[in-house]
Amino acid sequence: MYDFEAEREGQAGPSPVGAPARALLYLELPRWIGEYAASRTLDLVTPARDVGGGRPVLVLPGFSANDAMTGRLRGHLRRHGFRVHGWKLGRNHGLTDRLVDGVEDRFTAVAAQYDEPVSIVGWSFGGLLARWLAHEHADGVRQIVCLGSPWRAEGERTRATAMFERSRERHGISERAREIVETARGPVPVPTTAIWSRTDGIVPWKGCRVDDATDPAPAENVEVLSSHVGMVANPLVLATVVDRLAQDPAHWRPFSWKGLIPGVAS
């Protein structure tokens, strides 16, 4: 994320956590290849389950990513009965005015197609946008799922921070950026699931965790073994996302790995 905390010169603030080890960063690409291949293979050999019931889902890509990079995730969700939508805004360059206005317009357009709230899945920086949309459109959001999303102030400094700062210089940044981030850091008014990995090679996992809560809405953590780039392809992550999106917010069932095994009660 943008290193907003570094701009608080002389002000007290949360201590930043360190970025992931460089070795984990170097392993991101080979791990993603394995995760993508594994989930594709599982989809070919296991039966699909219509647990989505045609419910709408909007998927937001991470920083510098686009819809093509969330294709594996969206395809998996469609296979299980969800009506899935990409954000259709091209590459995610961060909090520019075009993307801030665009993601809100895209959410509004998707929501207008359905007579029910929309779930949002946000990968990395897309998860922070999902939190913001949930604050701005609480009545229209069913739930959010954040994949490796460093939303905490102490988790701002990541292996991608330099990319954010270069993007700010090249593409600009909205005057609303700091306000959006501060809003997104508040308690989310809809059910929230944070999926994160201690072996993430891009962002510090401690900045991705949420505080377990039931008020104002359920909030829970699910730890997985995954790379950061592979969050949108990893079989464990995909299974968890399907399980969470299948939940009824009015009768929320806490996550359990046993619940993913057919025939085993959670």
The series of mean pLDDT values per 10 residues for the chain, 266 residues long, is 60 64 94 97 92 97 96 97 97 95 98 97 97 97 97 81 85 93 96 97 94 93 97 97 96 90 49
- Show the 3-state SS of the chain: CCCHHHHCCCCCCCCCCCCCCHHHHHCHHHHHHHHHHHHHHHHHHCCCCCCCCCCEEEEECCCCCCHHHHHHHHHHHHHCCCEEECCCCCCCCCCCHHHHHHHHHHHHHHHHCCCCCEEEEEECHHHHHHHHHHHHCHHHEEEEEEECCCCCHHHCCCCCHHHHHHHHHHHCCCCCHHHHHHHHCCCCCCCEEEEECCCCCCCCHHHCCCCCECCCCCEEEEECCCCCHHHHCCHHHHHHHHHHHCCCHHHCCCCCHHHHCCCCCC
pLDDT attached to residue 164:
83
CATH of the structural domain 4-8+16-46+56-246, one choice from 3.40.50.1100, 3.40.50.170, 3.40.50.1820, 3.40.50.720? 3.40.50.1820
Domain ranges, ordered by start, for the chain: 4-8+16-46+56-246
pLDDT attached to residue 6:
59
The pTM of this model reads 0.92
pLDDT attached to residue 193:
98
pLDDT attached to residue 157:
74
